[in-house]
Amino acid sequence: MRPDSESIRKKSQPSVADAQYEAFNNVQKLIINKISKISKDYRLINLKKFNKEISSLIKNLEDKNEKVMMIFVKSYVINNYLTQNNKTLGHVLMCKVDDSDKYETGCILSIFQSINNKNFFMARQDNWNYTKLALQFARQRNLDAPGYQQHPKIDMLPEIILAMPSLYITQSVLTLTSMTGRVPVQTGLGAASKFYENNIIPNVFLASPFQKFYKMPINYWYIFSFWSLFISIFFVKKVQKRNMNLLVSLIPLYYGFFISFATYAEFMRLMIPVVPFIIYNFMFTIKYIQESFSRE
């Protein structure tokens, strides 16, 4: 599976186990050979001709995986290096000759040569690619006038979702059930990495072994919330206590389902406001199970 075929769950667990190195290496060699031949005849090339030349290679490929990989690599280079500068999306415009639609073939060749397969796949193995796609439809600051602007084709978003609603539902449910609360790799955003170093809370509560306990109620928050809801409806007799438990159970369920279908990244960070409800549901469920065994 090439990186962008993976579910958001796999994107959240960095690994290169499923990467198709062989298909990538074969495609990379074909493209490099093609551009090397072009660079001998043309120092400059426009984007339309470059796209046409690479697309012609696809017709000669018999392996389906290699065809898909060829389209992916070609699109990746065009969108990330030959289209525009965009710091937000990580795009860097390269190889273009000033005030023209021409690109240096030698420069394009060096881009394809510089893609190291293992590092390339490891970098792609991240849910940032989901975020990056969604950012293009989010409001962007207007550089030419005060205020913000939306993507010119924002009205097509419902059409995109409805083209394959099962994909939207599946990825949203995977976000809800698999975006874990335990982060084994400490964040490197700004000074956030110092959170673990300069904190008045003892380290035992922030890292191992306490996080191993913490990950169960957080990672399976929806199970404990559902159990708390079920127990409250059928086994809690006191009306006031039952109503309170129903409310505490429903708040994280409603909020969690909404966030999983409405957002595209950082699910567990956005769940922080309802963590007290999640912990209560976990403790209530465990307490009820323990009391049930004690009665027996």
How confident is the model at residue 225, as a pLDDT?
A: 95
Query: Is 280:248 a contact under the CB 8 Å cutoff?
Result: yes
Q: Check whether 79 has a pLDDT greater than 80.
A: yes
Residues in Cβ contact with 144 at an 8 Å cutoff, skipping those fewer than 6 apart: none
Q: Is the pLDDT of residue 268 over 50?
A: yes
In angstroms, how far is the first alpha carbon of the chain from the final one?
51
pLDDT-based confidence at 249, cuts 50/70/90?
Answer: very high
pLDDT confidence of residue 190: 47
Rounded to an integer, what distance in angstroms lies between the CA atom of residue 285 and that of residue 248?
A: 12
User: Is residue 206 pLDDT above 70, yes or no?
Assistant: no
Of 151 and 283, the structure prediction assigns the larger pLDDT to: 283
Give how far the C-alpha of residue 11 lies from the chain's centroid of Cα atoms, to the nearest Å: 6
What pLDDT does 76 receive?
Answer: 82
List pLDDT tens digits, range 141-194. Answer: 777 788 888 888 888 878 878 888 888 888 888 888 876 655 555 544 445 556
Task: Answer yes or no: is pLDDT of 16 > 60.
Answer: no
Q: What is the DSSP letter of 193?
A: G
Mean pLDDT computed over 25-32: 90
CA gap 88, 141 in Å, rounded: 11
Residue 242 has pLDDT above 90, yes or no: yes
Sign of CA dihedral 84, 87, 91, 95: positive
User: Would you call 91 helix, strand, or coil by DSSP?
Assistant: strand
Q: Count Cα atoms within 13 angstroms, Cβ side, for 26.
A: 17
Provide the pLDDT confidence category of residue 252 given band limits of 50, 70 and 90.
very high
Residue 3 scores a pLDDT above 50: no
Name the one residue in this structure whose structure tokens are 């273009």.
96
* 106 touches 39 (CB < 8 A): yes
Using the predicted structure, report yes or no on whether residue 266 has a pLDDT greater than 70: yes
Greater confidence, 28 or 18? 28
For the chain, how big is the Rg over CA atoms in Å?
A: 25
More confident of the two residues 1 and 239: 239
- The token pair at 295 is 């009665």
User: Which whole number is the average pLDDT over 8-14?
Assistant: 57
Lowest model confidence (mean pLDDT) among 41-45, 128-132, 164-168: 128-132
- d(Cα 192, Cα 272) in Å, to the nearest integer? 16
Say which residues have a Cβ less than 8 Å from residue 245's Cβ, sequence separation at least 6: 228, 229, 231, 232, 236, 284
Unique residue bearing structure tokens 């120092």: 43
Tell me the domain boundaries of the chain: 3-140+148-153, 175-295
Q: What is the model's pTM? A: 0.63
Specify the higher pLDDT residue, 11 or 230: 230
Beta strands per DSSP E along the chain = 44-46, 102-104, 140-141, 148-149
Please name every residue paired with 45 in a beta bridge, in sequence order, or none if there are none: 103
